[in-house]
């Protein structure tokens, strides 16, 4: 029997995650079943369960992919020169979230995380990674801009990161429920209200 390469396994895993992402985007997390993912992927149940134990593990993989995309965008922005100012960091993250096909389901997942401990653990793990990414970008900026923040750059970044992360849910909730919410104005205002 031929040996399956790691590249093949990674490609198959990506294929399954992409199918799950399409299902979550179309039906929402709660209404998506593993049968939906199996059908969308065109693979057998055995093939799917060979990579993922169930829907929650698939969600974690989808959320991880979204986070990696945001981290990649921050790295691309950062590679252009100076460290990103706080407003640029948040505008990059929020803009990326809104462009995700999974974006409108994020608010549902936050609500589920508040009442379902297992989903809560998955969401918390992703949130911790996002927080650390933002904190690192803020430390870089504060270190490059001495005198712009009170105290040690690392301590300042640790204090303000949870506040800045709170801007993303505010954006996503307003986007979901406020008629005529001006997404572009919100993103444009971030550099005005955050240190730059």
- Ranges of each domain in the chain: 55-193
Cβ-contact 165, 134 below 8 angstroms: yes
The kind and range of the H/E element at 78 are: helix 55-78
Q: Is the pLDDT of residue 2 over 70?
A: no
Mean pLDDT of the chain: 87
Q: Which residues, including other chains, have CB under 8 Å from residue 40's CB and lie 6 or more apart?
A: 19, 20, 22, 23
Structure tokens that stand for 34 in this block: 């593993």
- For residue 33, which of 60, 62, 59 has the smallest C-alpha distance? 59
Provide the whole-model pTM: 0.79
72-81 pLDDT, tens digit per residue, is 888 887 777 7
Distance from first CA to last CA of the chain, Å, rounded? 59
pLDDT tens sequence across 116-146:
888 788 888 888 888 998 999 999 999 998 8
Q: What is the pLDDT of residue 158?
A: 96
Q: Enumerate residues 6+ apart whose C-beta is below 8 A from 95.
A: 187
CA angle 23, 26, 28 (to 5 degrees): 80
pLDDT tens for 60-70 read 787 777 777 88
Query: In this model, does residue 98 exceed pLDDT 60?
Result: yes
The answer to whether the Cα torsion of 25, 28, 31, 35 is positive or negative is positive
**Is it the case that residue 153 has pLDDT exceeding 70?**
yes
Give the Cα separation of 84 and 86 in Å (integer): 6
Q: Which CATH architecture has domain 55-193?
A: Orthogonal Bundle (1.10)
Question: Given this model, what pLDDT does residue 126 score?
Answer: 81
């Amino acid at each position: 029997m031929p040996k399956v390469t790691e590249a093949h396994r990674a490609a198959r895993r990506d294929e399954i995650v992409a199918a799950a992402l399409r299902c979550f985007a179309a039906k929402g997390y709660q209404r998506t079943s593993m049968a939906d993912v199996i059908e969308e992927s065109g693979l057998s149940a055995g093939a799917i369960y060979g990579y993922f134990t169930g829907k929650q593990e698939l969600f974690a993989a989808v959320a991880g992919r979204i986070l990696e995309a945001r981290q990649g965008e921050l790295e691309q922005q950062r590679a252009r020169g100076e460290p990103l100012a706080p407003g640029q960091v948040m505008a990059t993250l929020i803009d990326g979230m809104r462009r995700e096909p999974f974006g409108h389901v994020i608010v549902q997942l936050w609500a589920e995380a508040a009442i379902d401990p297992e989903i809560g653990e998955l969401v918390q793990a992703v949130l911790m990674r996002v927080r650390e990414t933002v904190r690192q970008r803020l430390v870089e900026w504060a270190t490059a801009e001495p005198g712009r923040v009170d105290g040690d750059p690392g301590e300042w970044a640790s204090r303000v990161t949870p506040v800045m992360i709170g801007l993303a849910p505010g954006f996503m909730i307003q986007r979901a429920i406020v008629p005529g919410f001006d997404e572009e104005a919100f993103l444009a205002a971030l550099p005005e209200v955050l240190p730059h």
